[in-house]
């Protein structure tokens, strides 16, 4: 039964890639990926409100002060619209609602903010309309929306295979502290992949297995994890944006155990020993540039989950 007298709010987290291995281009143009995801404590909230008698979907977005709203997709082109369409098609009905997205995850930053919104919308609309979609079906619908969307549902720390959409939870008893530095200027993911292919024409078809990162997570040893972090796209991203290479080096100079570009960039992340250590590194990086956004987060955290309305 539809929750016509209520609204539902779902929270979904940003992701960082602890490891991203990229294979050579396949005949279909895609790359086989091996990645280890971690959900971190930076969130978007998606609130859906029933509109009895109206089948249409309206989407409004409020962004944090450090996010440039001009980067938002146009009306009707939001991943929330697509999530509503695929979930409605799955159940053979139209899913009307008023949707408000409260964004704290930077846009086009390699942190899967759009994917988080898609996952949150699937879950929120499912709960609002009482559809009872199974977890397996939600994951399948999520995979159709984008390679990072299934992980946004699962959360925690997980191994991603295929295009990243085949997600398996992994053992991670630790609590990891990160400094996250988004960029005011976005970056084209296809451009980064193209440049990677140019730089690595000899890349293997299948990336190496992520054994050391998984072992480091299971051990809870922060220095072991720092040594194991790796991103095959980092060279291409830094070649296109030399400022990212300078930022990564600057974060290590500021005391971080390790810095790297997250995903296809342009966000850079820095692993630290503790919350206090992370706050110290963040203070140093923020002090170097008054306009720089510097955030402290921890992981792993839960995947998309209801925070109000149930």
What is this structure's pTM? Answer: 0.92
Pick from 54, 61, 126, 131: nearest CA to 97: 54
The sign of the torsion formed by the CA atoms of 204, 194, 15, 224 equals positive
Domain boundary among 119, 139, 170: 170
Location of structure tokens 């999530």: 83
Q: Are residues 80 and 222 in the same domain?
A: no
Backbone CA torsion sign across 271, 275, 277, 279: positive
Which residue, 288, 170, 176, 161, is CA-closest to 221?
A: 176
- Cβ atoms within 10 A of the Cβ of 54, count? 12
Full pLDDT tens readout for the chain, 310 residues: 444 458 999 999 999 999 999 999 988 888 889 999 999 999 999 999 998 877 789 999 999 888 877 778 777 778 999 999 999 999 999 898 999 999 999 887 889 899 999 999 999 999 999 999 999 999 999 999 998 999 999 999 999 988 778 899 999 999 999 999 998 787 888 999 999 999 999 999 899 999 999 999 999 999 999 999 999 999 999 999 999 999 999 999 999 999 999 988 899 999 999 999 999 999 999 998 888 999 999 999 999 999 988 6
Instruction: Collect all residues with Cβ–Cβ distance below 8 Å to 304 and sequence separation of at least 6.
Output: 10, 11, 12, 13, 116, 119, 120, 122, 123, 152, 153, 155
- Residue 1 within any structural domain of the chain: no
CATH number, domain of 252, equals 3.30.70.890
Phi (first) and psi of residue 282, to 5 degrees = -60, -40
pLDDT at 28: 85
Q: Evaluate whether residue 307 is within a structural domain.
A: no
44, 126, 148, 172: the catalytic one is 148
Question: Is residue 148 flagged as an active site residue?
Answer: yes
Shared domain for 16 and 120, answered yes or no, is yes
Is 62:103 a contact under the CB 8 Å cutoff?
Answer: yes
**CB-based burial of residue 13 (10 Å sphere; 0-12 exposed, 13-18 middle, 19+ buried)?**
buried
Distance CA 233, CA 196 (A): 6
162 and 181 fall within a common domain: no
Q: Is 247 found in the same domain as 162?
A: no
305 in a structural domain: no
Structure-token pair, residue 50: 């029933």
Helix%, strand%, coil% for the chain, nearest 5 = 35, 30, 35
Domain of residue 193 covers 176-299
What pLDDT is recorded for position 1?
42
Of 149, 170, 191, which one is at a domain's C-terminal end?
A: 170
Q: Please indicate, yes or no, if residue 306 is contained in any of the structural domains.
A: no
| DSSP code for 302 | B
Task: Quote the number of domains for the chain.
Answer: 2
Please check whether residues 133 and 279 belong to one and the same domain: no
Active-site entry in 15, 44, 117, 232: 15
Would residue 185 show up in a list of annotated catalytic residues for this protein? Answer: no
Residues 233 and 107 in one domain: no
Exposed, middle or buried, 215 (CB in 10 Å: 0-12/13-18/19+)? middle
**Residue 261 host element (H or E):** strand 258-261
Residue written as token pair 């480091």: 216
Do 15 and 95 fall within a single domain? yes
- Specify whether 180 is located in the same domain as 158: no
Q: Is residue 2 part of a domain?
A: no
Same domain as 24, residue 108: yes
pLDDT for position 29 = 81
CB within 8 Å of 15: residues ≥ 6 apart: 37, 38, 39, 40, 111, 112, 115, 116, 148, 151, 152
The predicted pLDDT at position 5 comes to 55
* 31 within a domain of the structure (yes/no): yes
Residue with tokens 């970056």: 187
DSSP codes joined into one string, 154-180: HBSEEEEEETTTEEEE------EEEEE
Residue 104 belongs to a domain? yes
User: Do 159 and 227 belong together in one domain?
Assistant: no
Residue 308 belongs to some domain of the structure: no
The CATH number covering residue 14 comes to 3.30.230.10
Q: Which pLDDT value is given to residue 72?
A: 80
pLDDT of residue 4: 44
Both tokens assigned to 137: 């079906």
**Within this chain, do residues 136 and 240 fall inside the same structural domain, yes or no?**
no
pLDDT at 191: 93
| SS3 at position 128 | helix
Residue with tokens 């929306």: 145
Together in a domain, 58 and 154:
yes
């Amino acid at each position: 039964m539809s929750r016509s007298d209520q609204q539902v709010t779902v929270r979904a987290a940003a992701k960082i890639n602890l490891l991203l291995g990229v294979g050579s281009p396949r005949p279909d143009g895609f790359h086989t990926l091996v990645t280890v995801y971690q959900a971190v404590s930076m969130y978007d909230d998606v609130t859906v409100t029933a509109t009895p008698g109206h089948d249409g979907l309206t989407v409004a977005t409020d962004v944090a002060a450090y996010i440039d709203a001009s980067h938002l997709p146009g009306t009707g082109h939001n991943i929330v619209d697509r999530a509503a369409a695929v979930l409605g098609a799955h159940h053979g009905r139209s899913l009307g609602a008023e949707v408000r997205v409260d964004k704290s995850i930077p846009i086009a930053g390699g942190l899967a903010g759009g994917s988080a919104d898609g996952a949150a919308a699937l879950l929120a609309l499912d709960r609002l309309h009482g559809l009872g979609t199974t977890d397996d079906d939600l994951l399948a619908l999520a995979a159709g929306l984008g390679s990072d969307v299934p992980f946004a549902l699962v959360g925690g720390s997980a191994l991603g295979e295929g295009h990243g959409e085949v997600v398996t939870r992994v053992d991670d008893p630790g609590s990891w502290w990160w400094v996250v530095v988004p960029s005011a200027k976005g970056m084209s993911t296809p451009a980064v992949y193209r440049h990677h292919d140019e730089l690595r024409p000899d890349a293997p078809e299948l990336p190496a297995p992520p054994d050391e990162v998984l072992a480091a997570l299971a051990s809870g040893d922060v220095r072991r994890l720092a040594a194991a972090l790796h991103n095959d796209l980092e060279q291409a991203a830094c070649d296109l944006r030399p400022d990212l290479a300078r930022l990564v080096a600057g974060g290590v100079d500021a005391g971080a155990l390790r810095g790297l570009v997250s995903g296809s960039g342009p966000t850079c992340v820095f692993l630290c020993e503790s919350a206090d250590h992370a706050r110290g590194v963040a203070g140093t990086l923020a002090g170097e540039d008054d306009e720089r956004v510097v955030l402290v987060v921890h992981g792993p955290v839960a995947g998309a989950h209801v925070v109000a309305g149930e």
